[in-house]
Structure 1
């Protein structure tokens, strides 16, 4: 449960968001993104898809904030859970399903010694490439992608706005791809 030290309530933050206050929006995201990610990951069983659903949901929050009615029927958090759940269910409906008899045997998911060696080599290559990044890009990528810190939290840690942090992350990934290409690796997917 939120305490007064946590800052303004969700309704006040939505009013600020509707007025274009990025800090109010960032506060909403920081307050609610983790439980939304947990919900989405449980429903989808996939961290990547869950992250996309939560990002899309917060884009809806940003765009609909001016239409939010504080005296409405539901609390913001309740509405948010519903939107995330519906987005997850929609995504699951769009995923192609194979008939059970066509699936076959489940693969053994324990990594072989070859898989572990390859993972270790990928990690070494990535560390070498990351060392060539400008310091701010290296820090942002390390926090967000490898430290699993949310973009809003990374922005806070780096004392940047969310949009500036996201731009820094995008530039960092682009630069990292170029460095890896120079090493003969065709993309982040080859090492991540």
Structure 2
């Protein structure tokens, strides 16, 4: 996924302001742009689709509530919603630390059974490895490599400098590689280098 450019960020801000002035179609367009990305992010952070849906809904409701007071502060609406979603995910992760964690069932695709089984196995291995990363590394890796955000966008979401994002992402990738390295044959990568 290619990082969003400033034109998209400006357009998102315009849509938010249009919604604040009563344009419901602007809200629908902005929801269609942002909600699927927030849902994917939250599902990967939490490992639970139902909780991710709750986080997405809560995040979008918060965006609509602040719309009348939105001012162009240099933070695009997309970065703002990712920051809110990240905070909501962190809150949920903290609350559940005392309870057992469970991996969600992953949806099947339309390819053949063998392909679906391998995709499911690979996705489960990635989700398990992601869940084993420290929270900040997991957040940086998901935002950069799975959501395609730029380092400056991630820095705005995580409230850190771009150097910290680079460090978190690099450490997260190294940790993921280490966690997955012993599973190449099981994941169907035995012939790949």
- Indicate the TM-score class for this superposition, using the shorter chain for normalisation: 0.3 to 0.5
Q: TM-score, normalised by structure 1?
A: 0.46
Larger radius of gyration: 1
Q: TM-score, normalised by structure 2?
A: 0.46
Higher relative contact order by CA 8 Å / sep ≥ 6: 1 or 2?
2
